[in-house]
Amino acid sequence: MTKKIIQLLIFLGLGVFFIWFSVKDFKPEDVEIIKSSLLGILNAKSIFLIVLSMLSGMLAHFFRALRNILLIDPLGYRVRKTTAFYSVMTCYLANLAIPRLGEVLRCTLLQRYDQVPFQKSLGTVVADRMFDLLIFAFLFILILFLNSELISSLGVKEQFALWIGGKWSMIWEMKIAIVFILLILTVGLVYYLRRKKKSGKKQSKIAAFIKKIVLGLWQGLISVKDLKHPYLFVIYTIAIWVCYYFGTYFCISAFDFLQHLSPMPPFIILVVGAIGFMIAQGGLGAYPLFVAGILLLYNIDYAQGLAAGWIGWSAQTLMILIVGFASLILASFLKVENRATLPSVSTDEKK
């Protein structure tokens, strides 16, 4: 619990820092620009577009739930669409409070209501995140390729860009180190268990429990190769990111001073803005700052861009709060399902 609190304080601290960094050089006229930008969306058309943005985000999470069902299916467990959706939204809601708590609650709900073993559903969640990371990397490379001329002419806040690049590099290196350490520990554990098995000695309860966890995670990760509907998996994956794009596009279109932009800026905001959610708690402070920085490249006033970023962040956060809390409540009314089918169990597992 202490570790979670420390994580929360670090990520929240980053968010507060980004907020301070984004407004530290503000002048009274910048504050007035933000106020006028925010007041400019208080009309029926803009509010409708922001609601569409929120609905697009919710639809993306629904497609994620459908994709998660496909990942769990090869393991021999049937998951209802309602359970999958409630678990995904509860995950995002919990992650607003404490980093990575959502993944635990997501798997807990699946185990509670549809009898999917925690460690196996956790493996599918890891696989889900890995696919998102691959798609993000592809899209990031794509925007670099499509905007090479724009990037080569950058002269906006170069020191900030270098600072962000250095911090992001450090965070990425830490993640790689953690994965490498976990890989070594896993290999060591497998080697130990195999030697234990060959020696004929009875496994301790702790060793058996660890083996069960590792085996469940592994089965969840490799469930991708046994997908019964791989094309549907691809369609859901594309649908997730298309919905994300339109969520960004509708929000950008809600501002009069951004309606002249081409479809490309929302695409860049979608991809680069995702980094803000990775490095700060719920994207607090970081996402609006990145949005403002991107819009500067298109000659949009920094204060106006910051206002647009905060509205975009607030709309999606509000959607998660509303739908997340509703999902948490509705999940409590779900009927607990018996396991529809039993996955094959090896002789070793039976023992």
pLDDT for 72-85, tens place per residue? 888 888 999 999 99
Q: What is the reported pLDDT for 258? A: 94
The domain of 143 spans 41-264+312-337
Distance, CA of 162 to chain centre: 25
C-beta of residue 94 within 8 angstroms of C-beta of residue 102 = yes
Q: Is the pLDDT of residue 271 over 50?
A: yes
Q: What is the number of H-type helices and E-type strands within the chain?
A: 14, 0
Q: Is the pLDDT of residue 205 over 50?
A: yes
293 in a structural domain: no
Q: Is the pLDDT of residue 21 over 80?
A: no
Q: Is the pLDDT of residue 109 over 80?
A: yes
Lowest mean pLDDT among 26-40, 227-241, 337-351: 337-351
Paired tokens of 108: 């807990």
C-beta of residue 121 within 8 angstroms of C-beta of residue 343 = no
Q: Is the pLDDT of residue 242 over 90?
A: yes
Contacts of 156 (CB under 8 A, 6+ apart): 293, 296, 297
17 in a structural domain: no
190 in a structural domain: yes
Residue type, 48: F
Of 222 and 324, more confident: 324
Exposure letters 99-108 (e unless 16+ CB within 10 A, then b)? bebbbebbbe
Q: What percent of the chain has pLDDT over 90?
A: 39
The number of distinct structural domains making up the chain is 1
Of 204 and 341, more confident: 204
For the packed helices 230-253 and 118-146, what is the interaxial angle rounded to 10 degrees?
60
Q: Is the pLDDT of residue 27 over 70?
A: yes
Q: What is the reported pLDDT for 157? A: 43
Q: What is the reported pLDDT for 30? A: 84
300 in a structural domain: no
216 in a structural domain: yes
273 in a structural domain: no
How many angstroms separate the Cα of 155 from the Cα of each of 150, 162, 219, 264, 297?
Answer: 10, 12, 48, 20, 9
10 in a structural domain: no
Over range 232-240, report the average pLDDT: 93
Q: What is the reported pLDDT for 44? A: 95
Neighbours of 306 (CB within 10 A): 25
154 in a structural domain: yes
Q: What is the reported pLDDT for 285? A: 87
Q: What is the reported pLDDT for 182? A: 59
Q: Dump pLDDT digits (tens) for 213-232.
A: 555 555 545 556 677 888 89
Q: Dump pLDDT digits (tens) for 152-198.
A: 555 444 444 444 444 445 444 555 555 556 566 666 666 665 666 55
